Amino acid sequence: MPYVNIKVTREGVTPGQKAELIAGVSDLLQRVLNKDPSLTHVVIDEVNLENWGVGGLPVPQYRQRRTT
Amino acid sequence: MPYVNIKVTREGVTPGQKAELIAGVSDLLQRVLNKDPSLTHVVIDEVNLENWGVGGLPVPQYRQRRTT
Amino acid sequence: MPYVNIKVTREGVTPGQKAELIAGVSDLLQRVLNKDPSLTHVVIDEVNLENWGVGGLPVPQYRQRRTT
Amino acid sequence: MPYVNIKVTREGVTPGQKAELIAGVSDLLQRVLNKDPSLTHVVIDEVNLENWGVGGLPVPQYRQRRTT
Amino acid sequence: MPYVNIKVTREGVTPGQKAELIAGVSDLLQRVLNKDPSLTHVVIDEVNLENWGVGGLPVPQYRQRRTT
Amino acid sequence: MPYVNIKVTREGVTPGQKAELIAGVSDLLQRVLNKDPSLTHVVIDEVNLENWGVGGLPVPQYRQRRTT
């Protein structure tokens, strides 16, 4: 029954990494809550950097400020 | 007031099908809960196959395993 | 594969109405997109009136303004 | 700690407007709830017009009906 | 058309503060993107502290670690 | 930057299990995508059984049908 939504910035996540995230989350829910993987849905959303804000700034500006 | 989010895999859903889903959900909420369609918002998200996991696998591998 | 999230205000939706919404959405996705109901998940969120805003107002004040 | 998701129709929102929304929401949460902007995440989702429904219609048809 | 979901920890947000958040977000979207407040929906979700994690810890433990 | 939302049915998930899910998801995102746990937010939503549907039925009826 679990539904898991993973939102990450769109920065070249490979199909292999997506498969690892899906397997990892399903295993975790099976191990911790004994959830049936066949009923566990995982959706990965990739968000453009300018569409994600933290510290009051879009990510590109936020990262620039952290490195200066 | 209702807000309905429909997430489906990105597999060529046509504008006509999207209109059917929007009309169908609005009618359902009006019929069952007497909700005003003009205040009912429906958002359809289309998700790439490799970004959706079930059974611990991305959909393409999941479907392949179900057919072998 | 579809995941549908229905958000409505918390105003006494009965178990029977929830079952109708779940069945109605599953049938709609099967009819329009040929989606397998056993892979269609529907989650209904009920939101307190003061936690839902429209027209810049919480729902109670919004409704009051519409009736005066 | 806040997480804010803003869904708007995909109609040419500029990077500058996105930055304004991110800053505005972070300031609002700091002012009203004293939330630390460095722990406030804002994600803007842009939705294709045909994927958003209101009044039982996709937005293009809804707008057309409102102007005729 | 905008739909905004604000998730905050459940820590006694008052009706007045919720009204301020709803008004503030609606004004922001009207000012920046000229969105009609009557079509702007805002939903505030309040999440129990133990249900929110950051830094790999539930919020209570995360805060405790930050103060020691 | 990641934001992860885990929706599960409300069936007595303990604080310890929630902490395990939060730690597990944060570790997974750090291992697979090298994401900073201090910027990784995890929110667990617990949904009443009658509010979750699969196979066109609310979970209680779905489970009953699977056992008969």
Cα distance between residue A53 and residue F10, in whole Å: 31
Beta sheet of A3-9, edge-to-edge order = B57-58, B52-54, A41-47, A3-9, F3-9, F41-47, E52-54, E57-58
What would the DSSP string read from start to end of A5-45? Answer: EEEEE-S---HHHHHHHHHHHHHHHHHHH---GGG-EEEEE
Return the pLDDT at B1.
80
Q: What is the ipTM of this complex?
A: 0.96
Classify residue E12 as exposed, middle or buried by CB count within 10 Å of its CB (0-12, 13-18, 19+): exposed
Return the pLDDT at D67.
83
Phi-psi region at E38: left, alpha or beta (left = phi > 0; alpha = psi -120 to 50):
alpha
Q: Which residues of chain C have a CB within 8 Å of the CB of B29?
A: 6, 8, 21
F8-55 pLDDT, tens digit per residue, is: 999 999 999 999 999 999 999 999 999 999 999 999 999 999 999 999
Q: Which two tokens stand for residue E17?
A: 């503060």
- Catalytic residue flag (residue F2): yes
Return the pLDDT at D66.
83
How crowded is residue C26: how many other Cβ atoms within 10 Å of its Cβ? Answer: 25
Return the pLDDT at C66.
83
pLDDT beyond 80 at A4: yes
Q: Which phi and psi (to 5°) does residue D56 adopt?
A: 80, 5
Return the pLDDT at E68.
75
E10-62 pLDDT, tens digit per residue, is: 999 999 999 999 999 999 999 999 999 999 999 999 999 999 999 999 999 99
**Contact E38/C at CB under 8 A:** yes
A14-63 pLDDT, tens digit per residue, is: 999 999 999 999 999 999 999 999 999 999 999 999 999 999 999 999 99
**Contact A54/C at CB under 8 A:** no
Q: Which chains touch A (3 or more CB pairs under 8 A)?
A: B, C, D, F
Separation in Å, CA of C25 to nearest CA in chain B: 7
Q: Which residues of chain C have a CB within 8 Å of the CB of A43?
A: 3
Beta sheet of C52-54, edge-to-edge order = A57-58, A52-54, D41-47, D3-9, E3-9, E41-47, C52-54, C57-58
CB within 8 Å of F14: residues ≥ 6 apart: none
Backbone Cα Rg of chain D = 15
D4 to E5: CB separation less than 8 angstroms, yes or no: yes
The length of chain A in residues reads 68
pLDDT beyond 80 at D68: no
Separation in Å, CA of A54 to nearest CA in chain C: 24
Catalytic position from the list F2, F15, F58, F60: F2
User: Best residue in D6, D7, D44, D51 to probe B by mutation, most B CBs within 10 Å?
Assistant: D51
Cβ atoms of C48 and C11 within 8 Å: the answer is no
Cα distance between residue B65 and residue B49, in whole Å: 15
Residues of chain B where predicted confidence (pLDDT) is lower than 70: none
Whole-number Cα distances in Å, A42 to A11, A20, B12, C6, D45:
19, 11, 21, 18, 19
pLDDT beyond 90 at D24: yes
In chain F, domain spans: 3-67
**Contact C16/F at CB under 8 A:** no
Cα distance between residue E22 and residue E9, in whole Å: 17
Average pLDDT over residues D37-60: 97
Whole-number Cα distances in Å, E65 to B42, D2, E42, F14, F41:
42, 19, 33, 21, 16
Cβ atoms of E47 and E5 within 8 Å: the answer is no
Separation in Å, CA of E57 to nearest CA in chain C: 26
C16-68 pLDDT, tens digit per residue, is: 999 999 999 999 999 999 999 999 999 999 999 999 999 999 999 999 988 87
Return the pLDDT at B18.
98
Average pLDDT over residues D13-38: 98
pLDDT beyond 80 at C13: yes
User: Which CATH number does the domain D3-67 belong to among 3.40.50.1580, 3.90.105.10, 3.40.50.720, 3.30.429.10?
Assistant: 3.30.429.10
Return the pLDDT at A67.
83
Share of chain D above pLDDT 70, in %: 100
Return the pLDDT at B66.
83
What would the DSSP string read from start to end of F1-66? Answer: --EEEEEEE-S---HHHHHHHHHHHHHHHHHHH---GGG-EEEEEEE-GGGEEETTEEHHHHHHHH
Residue of E nearest to F5 (CA): E52
Q: Which two tokens stand for residue D46?
A: 């842009």
Return the pLDDT at C38.
94
How crowded is residue D65: how many other Cβ atoms within 10 Å of its Cβ? Answer: 10
Label residue A68 by pLDDT band (50, 70, 90). Answer: confident
Q: Which residues of chain E have a CB within 8 Å of the CB of B3?
A: 3, 41, 43
The answer to whether B and F touch (≥3 CB pairs < 8 Å) is no
Q: Which chains touch C (3 or more CB pairs under 8 A)?
A: A, B, E, F
